[in-house]
Structure 1
Amino acid sequence: MASYDILLVNSSAGKDSQAALDVVVEAARAAGVADRVVVVHADLGDAEWPGVPELAAEHAAHYGLRFEIACRSRAGQVETILERVAQRGMWPDSRRRWCTSDHKRGPIRTVITKLVTERRAATPGLNRPVRVLNVLGLRAEESPARRRKIPYAANPTASNGRRAVDDWYPIHDWPASKVWDRIAAAGTRPHPAYAAGMTRLSCRFCVLASRADLVCSARLNPTLAARYAAVEEETGHRFRLDLSMADVIAAANGASSPAGAGAQLTLI
């Protein structure tokens, strides 16, 4: 841990980010390098749940950490994934995840560049690449693709002559129960979407989400769901090959609400 100049924790404000952040802070404090931890959040605009950027900042503040926010912007405004779907005429999918590369990974690498520049300026005569540990709360049980990932490895595409970046997934082998236990012990606040029935806190309508999460989200976010359905109709391209947004909305309209109407009003 102490061999890294920057310990960058990617935070979606979701449960896995919360647990991973707590693990990193504990390890950094033990190594005497807690001052090197920075939390970064990729702002996805209205694609993500209300209050997410503020909650990510709250999680960072809980530990007294620096917080950075990144986004893909156009004309000074956050460019949303839905806007780009309308432009492209098609949705992202598991093979073409431009939503992740363009709206998360790319903007966060811009933050890495800034942090590396600051580090080099603060260390005159530094004649080696700045070492960056890039931390993400990815867990193996979430998907077969994540199960195949190596929990700690060099990231050559994010590295260059000025920086050497390694990726670390500190909770890669954790079950969800261990994640929630860690959060309870840490004392950080989960997003209310979980209490309302969501199992993950990604985009409100992620093409890789489970059908159950999509239906739950449509029940909690009917206005945004309608916008997604309108773009689906305009582009003539289904939200997912096996599931249209119109089908999701129909299922949500027929679903009972275990969280009650109050939760719906809170989250829209």
Structure 2
Amino acid sequence: MSAQIELVSARAVHGLEPVPDLASADRIVISNSGGKDSIAAMDEAVRLADDAGVRDRIVVLHIDLGRTPRGHTVEWPGTEDLARRQAAHYGLPFQVRRSAKWPSLVHRIRARGQFPHFLSRFCTSDMKRSVAHRFVTEQVDALGITGRPARIVHVMGFRAEESRARARRPAVEVDGRASSGRRTVTQWYPVLRWSTTEVWQRIRDRGLPYHWAYDAGMSRLSCSLCVLASAPDLTCAAGLRPALAREYADLEKEMGVPFRRELSMAEVIRRAGGAA
């Protein structure tokens, strides 16, 4: 009953969200992390692209966050393969890109001497946003459009429930930092006002492939050990990936700063039943 009330209330307050003019887009780039919100956003974007007759203009981008100095994947094992299978589910071309400067997010953290936090999300700016911008440049170059800016629609699985900042976003907005005289980049968040219940309902109704970490107890995917994750998710992740958690705890000691101000990785490991 509470889930039904939640869904009805969200629709009553926000109504139908705007959709960009997909028929006028020269390229539609779908960023896919492999998470539940990404696959739901992809499904919705493909559905509306089909309505506009432009599925052939879609390309799926997965940004890989690399391997730590000890060889562990920053993301959950199998994420890249899952993202590829999710793209193949729709017959879409799939591309993987990585930071050209940093072998992994952990290398970037060590170089900076601190972990990301809410007010300094360099994990996103250095490892994801800049990589996505370079990919868009590649797409614009390949299109070879002259006489006008190329029209790019960038699809992301942001949801308002995830943070106050995302809740303030419109469902469609021009990305001024990514746009230039050569291109206009429109950000589109197809599932922005969807609840978690709606996301999972779409996944189940459509039989969409999703990551095993959810069935193992995680509520979000993201990095395996994300500084913005809830304490229960961090505890769950440390239990599932103890060697990675140990590497983060050792990095805490090396840099002399905790994983989070109020929660060290050593404490997360203790909560997960490991030896700190």
> Do they superpose with TM above 0.5?
yes
Deviation track 1:171-224 (CA, whole Å, cap 9, x = no partner) reads 000011110111122222110000000000100111111001000000000000
8 A contact 1:68–1:111 mirrored in 2: no
Aligned to 2:44: 23
**2:173 match: secondary structure:** strand
Q: Which amino acid aligns with 2:177?
A: T
Distance 1:42 1:186 in 2: 25
1:1-268 equivalences in 2 (<5 Å): 1-45=22-66, 46-74=73-101, 79-120=103-144, 123=145, 126-253=146-273
8 A contact 1:20–1:136 mirrored in 2: yes
Aligned to 1:261: none
What TM-score, normalized to structure 2? 0.87
**2:34 match: secondary structure:** coil
8 A contact 1:135–1:170 mirrored in 2: yes
Instruction: Count matched residues.
Output: 247
Q: 1:242 Cα shift?
A: 1.1
Q: 1:147 Cα shift?
A: 1.0
Q: Which runs of 5+ in 2 are unaligned?
A: 1-21, 67-72
Regions of 4+ moved over 6 Å: none
Q: 1:73 Cα shift?
A: 3.3
Distance 1:54 1:68 in 2: 11
Deviates more, 1:38-47 or 1:213-222: 38-47
Q: 1:15 Cα shift?
A: 0.3
Deviation track 1:9-54 (CA, whole Å, cap 9, x = no partner) reads 1100000000000001011111110000111011012110001111
Q: 1:81 Cα shift?
A: 1.1
**2:245 match: secondary structure:** helix
Deviation track 1:62-117 (CA, whole Å, cap 9, x = no partner) reads 1010111111135xxx6111112122111111111111011111111111111111
Distance 2:161 2:259 in 1: 24
Distance 1:173 1:236 in 2: 40
Aligned identity (percent) is 47
What TM-score, normalized to structure 1? 0.90
Q: Which amino acid aligns with 2:137?
A: T
Q: 1:140 Cα shift?
A: 0.6
**1:61 match: secondary structure:** helix
Distance 1:21 1:169 in 2: 10
